[in-house]
Amino acid sequence: MAYTPERTLQFSTQGINPYFLSEHDILRIVSKNKDFEPYADQIKEIYFFGAGCSSPDKHEVVSNGLSAYFTKAFVSVEHDMMGSVYATCGDSEGLTCILGTGSNITHFDGTKLSEGRHGLGYILGDEGSGTYFGKKMLQSYFYKRMPAPLARIFEESFDVKKEEVITSVYQKPFPNTYLAGFSRFMIQNYDHPFIRKTLRDGFQEFIDTNIKDYAGYDRMPVHFVGSISYYYREILTEACTANKITVGKILQKPIQELYNYILRRESIEA
């Protein structure tokens, strides 16, 4: 988002993750968006919140990539968890969970984030995420645990071949995004008992592994950000209620709430 005195402008780009992209890659992505051109020299501050931005060296990769294009802007880079916390908790205590392509969780005491031990990525973690559910769909299909009528629909939707899947997961870039693509099958067949059970089981695993790992999880609001939590919020809320978890905000994208928070914070500091 960019702000002018007259209006707010919104732009979209390809996702940026410094674990997969170099400074040059980031510059190329931004340069490719011609909507930026009229404003590149006018933008004075950039607040970037993204996955993979939890260490100083990754901050630098993103900051340098953006600064190469927005040459007059001060660039602030923080982890996407921080952005999600600002959008959900604001300045209050709570737990914030990301359930999108990947999954993560953090505790915010109103001032700072806790040092979490989650967010292990799609191989070691990502419980309840798009990648997690995409893997579940593929596993159940190839292991023939998916009900036959549903398996036929899956075949028609994706035309998957075992060799192609293995190549895409183990040899091609962005395997997590590739796997998460198969989770879309669940929204298209949301009312099928097999799909609903898979969702319940996946959310329960996220709750047991992540939320219940925090003492006092049942006394503070638990917020969720991401497409998985948003589109499957009915079953997610049921799972939380069954575990005595108070659900706070469920946001598909935190950008509007984050934008409002940053403007409010900057006006107070000014």
pLDDT tens-digit readout, 234-248: 999 999 999 999 999
Query: 44-47: which pairs have CB atoms within 8 A and are 24 or more residues apart?
Result: 44/72, 44/73, 44/74, 45/73, 45/74, 45/76, 46/70, 46/73, 46/74, 46/75, 46/76, 47/76, 47/78, 47/262
pLDDT category at 269 given cuts 50, 70, 90 is low
Over range 211-215, report the average pLDDT. 93
- The predicted-structure confidence for 146-201, as pLDDT tens digits, reads as follows 999 999 999 999 988 999 999 999 988 889 899 999 999 999 999 999 999 999 99
- Would you say residue 231 has pLDDT above 70? yes
Q: CA–CA separation, 254 vs 10, rounded Å?
A: 14
Contact 225, 84 (CB under 8 A): yes
Could you tell me the residue ranges of all domains in the chain?
2-72, 92-251
pTM of the model: 0.82
- The predicted-structure confidence for 40-53, as pLDDT tens digits, reads as follows 888 889 999 887 88
Percent of the chain with pLDDT strictly greater than 90: 62
**Over the chain, what is the mean pLDDT?**
90
Return all residues near 104 (Cβ < 8 A) that are at least 6 apart: 81, 97, 98, 116, 118, 119
The enclosing H or E element of 107 equals strand 103-108
pLDDT for residue 229:
96
pLDDT for residue 5:
46
| The CATH fold of domain 92-251 | Nucleotidyltransferase; domain 5 (3.30.420)
- The structure tokens listed for 191 are 């009312």
Return all residues near 260 (Cβ < 8 A) that are at least 6 apart: none
